[in-house]
Structure 1
Amino acid sequence: MADRFELVDKMAVLDRETGLMWQREASAERMPWGDGAACIARLNTSGYAGFSDWRFPTRDELAGLILAEEDRQSGLYIDPLFGTQRNCWTSTQSEHHKACYVDFYYGDVYLIEENYANHFVRAVRTQRAG
C-alpha cells in the first residue's frame, strides 16, 4: 500500500491506483457544502501545486481514499500523507438539499443536509498521461 501514494511537491498526492491527484491537506477551514465551489475556484485561480484544473471529488472518488485499516498514529482511515482532516465534502448531492461527505474517522460515507454541517474540502484533479 505504501507505493500507492506519491507526494508531489509537498502540496499534492498522486494516487497511482486511480490516476487522480489530490490536494494534500484539505481546506484550512470547515465550511458548508455550498462554499466548497468557491474554495476550489481559489485553488484554480492561484494555480495550486502548478495546476488550474482542480475540482470537487465525487462520492466514489473520495471514498476510494478510505483505507481498510485505521492508521494507528492518526486514528483515521486515510493514508497519513493526507493530514488529519476527518470529514470532507464530495460533489455528490441527493434530493432535499443533501450532500455526501466522507468521514475518515469512521471510514464511511454519509449523507447530510448541505447547510447542516461544516466540513473540509479536498480538491482533486485527473492526472494527465504523459
Structure 2
Amino acid sequence: MTDRKTLEGIVNSFYEARGGNDKYGVMSFAGPEITFSMVGSGKMAVAAPRISGPADLEVAVGALIDHWDMSRMTTKRLYVDGDTVIAHRSGVIRHNPTGRDLETEYIDIFTIKDGKIDDITEFVDTLMVAEATGLVTT
C-alpha cells in the first residue's frame, strides 16, 4: 500500500495537468490497464462510455480537453483509504464549443496501483453535461 502523501501527490499532479489542458501530462499518470467511467443515467452512456486502456483513454482525454476547460476547478477535499483516493472538486468549468461557464462540483474515485492510476470513476452532474452539450434541453 502506498502512503497517503504519495497518493495525494499523484492525484493533485493529475489535476494540475488536467487544469493546464496538458493531455500528455494527464496520460503520464495512466497505468497499463487504466479504466475510466462517468457514472450516470444510461442515456448518457453514448456520450460517456467506459474507457479501457491507455490508447482509448488518450482519445477520450483529448476530446475532454477540447470540450471542457477545467482550469477554474479546485480540490475541496481528498479522502484516502488504502490505495483509493476520493476527490471532491468544485468550481467553474467552461464548455468550449459554446463558451458557456457552468458552476459545478463532482467526485472522482481513483484507484492507484504501482504509482499509476488504475481506475477513475467520476460522479458528475450528468444533467448539466447533457444540457451543455445539447443532448437535452430543459
Q: Indicate whether the TM-score tops 0.5.
A: no
Structure 1 or 2: larger helix share?
A: 2
Structure 1 or 2: larger strand share?
A: 2
Tell me: higher relative CO, structure 1 or 2? Use CA pairs within 8 A at least 6 residues apart: 1
Normalising by structure 2, we get a TM-score of 0.24
Normalising by structure 1, we get a TM-score of 0.25
